[in-house]
Amino acid sequence: MIIQPRTRGFICLTAHPEGTAKNVQDQIDYVKSKGKIANGPKKVLVIGASTGFGLSSRIATAFGSDAATVGVFFEKPAAEGKTGTAGWYNTAAFEAAAKDAGLYAASINGDAFSDEIKKQTIDLIKKDLGQVDLVVYSLASPRRTHPKTGVAYSSVLKPIGQPFTDKTVDFHTGVVSDISIAPVENEEDIANTIAVMGGEDWKFWLEDLKAAGVLAEGVKTVAYSYIGPELTYPIYHNGTIGRAKEDLQNTVPVLDDLLKDLHGKAYVSVNKALVTQSSSAIPVVPLYISLLYKVMKEKGIHEGTIEQMQRLFTDRLYTEGEVQLDSEGRIRVDDWEMRADVQEEVSKLWAQATTENLEEISDIKGYRDEFFHLFGFNFNGIDYNADTNELVGVPSIG
Dist. CA 221–CA 208, nearest whole Å: 14
Give the C-alpha separation, 140 to 199, whole Å: 12
Position 304 contacts ligand NAD (CB under 6 A): no
Distance CA 320, CA 90 (A): 32
Q: Which residues contact 130 (CB under 8 A, 6 or more apart)?
A: 43, 214
Confirm or deny that 260 is annotated as ligand binding. no
Per the residue annotation, which of 137, 153, 236, 293 is the catalytic one? 236
Q: How far is the CB of 30 from ligand NAD (least distance, A)?
A: 17
Find the binder of ligand NAD among 26, 66, 111, 207 (CB under 6 A).
Answer: 111
Site string for ligand NAD, 43-72 (x = CB under 6 A): -----xxxxxxx-----------------x
Q: Identify which of residues 216 and 273 has a Cβ nearer to ligand NAD in the complex.
A: 273
Contact 58, 94 (CB under 8 A): yes
The residue from 73, 153, 293, 371 that contacts ligand NAD (CB under 6 A) is 73
Q: Which of residues 214-273 bind ligand NAD (CB under 6 A)?
A: 224-226, 271, 273
Q: Which of ligand NAD, Na ion, none is residue 292 near (CB under 5 to 8 Å by kind)?
A: none
Distance separating alpha carbons of residues 386 and 310, to the nearest angstrom: 34
Q: Is 49 a known ligand-binding residue?
A: yes
The entry of ligand NAD, Na ion, none that residue 111 binds, CB within 5 to 8 Å by partner kind: ligand NAD
- Binding partner of residue 121 among ligand NAD, Na ion, none, CB under 5 to 8 Å per kind? none
- C-alpha to C-alpha distance for 66 and 375, rounded to whole angstroms: 27
Choose among Na ion, ligand NAD, none what residue 274 binds, the Cβ cut-off being 5 to 8 Å by kind.
Answer: ligand NAD
Is residue 331 near ligand NAD by the rule CB under 6 A? no
Check the annotation: does 50 bind a ligand: yes
371 binds ligand NAD (CB under 6 A): no
Distance, CA of 317 to chain centre:
17
- Asked if 9 and 173 touch (Cβ cutoff 8 Å), the reply is no
Instruction: Report which DSSP code applies to 260.
Output: G
CB 21, CB 89: distance < 8 Å: yes
Q: Which of 186, 95, 185, 192 is nearest to 153 (CA)?
A: 192
Containing H/E element for 153? Answer: strand 152-154
The yes or no reply on residue 171 touching ligand NAD (CB under 6 A) is: no
288 makes contact with ligand NAD (CB under 6 A): no
Name residues whose C-beta falls within 8 Å of residue 136's C-beta, 6 or more positions apart in sequence.
44, 45, 46, 47, 48, 49, 54, 57, 58, 61, 221, 222, 223
Q: Which of Na ion, ligand NAD, none has residue 276 at its interface (CB below 5 to 8 Å by kind)?
A: ligand NAD
Q: Is residue 204 within the footprint of ligand NAD (CB under 6 A)? A: no
Task: Let me know: does 89 contact 376? Beta carbons within 8 Å.
Answer: yes
Give yes or no: 236 in active site.
yes
Is residue 276 part of an annotated ligand binding site? yes
Q: Is residue 90 near ligand NAD by the rule CB under 6 A?
A: no
- 377: burial class by Cβ within 10 Å (0-12, 13-18, 19+)? buried
For 167, phi and psi rounded to 5 degrees?
A: -80, 155
Q: Which of residues 114-143 bind ligand NAD (CB under 6 A)?
A: 138-141
Shortest separation between residue 69's beta carbon and ligand NAD, angstroms: 13
Say if residue 318 carries a ligand binding annotation. Answer: no
CB-nearest residue to ligand NAD: 52
Radius of gyration of the chain (CA): 20
Least distance to ligand NAD from the beta carbon of 47, Å? Answer: 7
Which positions are catalytic? 236
| Residues annotated in a binding site for NAD(+) | 48-53, 74-75, 111-112, 139-140, 245, 274-276
Residue ranges of the binding site for substrate:
226
Q: Which residues are near ligand NAD by CB under 6 A?
A: 48-54, 72-75, 87, 111-113, 138-141, 224-226, 271, 273-274, 276-279
In the annotated binding site, the residues are: 48-53, 74-75, 111-112, 139-140, 226, 245, 274-276
